[in-house]
């Protein structure tokens, strides 16, 4: 199951993601795929929030106390395939 979600990984440079973002191309794609599979009420914003919580999207601003820690953790992580 984890490999399914990691197919939609979205790793833009943190300084290019506005802090007001609530969707991304990856969250739109995930939402559409889940709807094709019969899920309801899973829009791009909900998918984006899920992807943030699971680490598929890193939108910590440069200078954020966690930005470097998240980047390091992602660099040492091998997503399931």
Q: What is the pLDDT of residues 43-65, one digit of tens each?
A: 999 999 998 888 888 777 777 88
Residue among 6, 28, 4, 5 at smallest CA distance from 78: 6
- Secondary structure (DSSP) of 18-61: -TT----HHHHHHHHHHHHTT--S--HHHHHHHHHHHTSB--PP
16 three-state secondary structure: helix
Q: What is the pLDDT of residue 62?
A: 73
pLDDT in tens, 16-51: 556 667 888 889 999 999 999 999 989 999 999 998
> Rounded to two decimals, what is the model's pTM?
0.76
pLDDT of 15 over the 80 cut: no
């Amino acid at each position: 199951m984890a490999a399914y979600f990691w197919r939609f990984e979205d790793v833009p440079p943190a300084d290019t993601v506005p802090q007001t973002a609530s969707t991304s191309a990856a969250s739109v794609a995930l939402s559409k795929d889940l709807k094709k599979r019969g899920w309801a009420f899973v829009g791009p914003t909900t998918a984006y929030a899920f992807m943030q919580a699971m680490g598929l999207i890193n939108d910590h601003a440069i200078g954020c106390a966690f930005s470097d820690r998240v980047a390091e953790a992602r660099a040492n992580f091998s997503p399931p395939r």
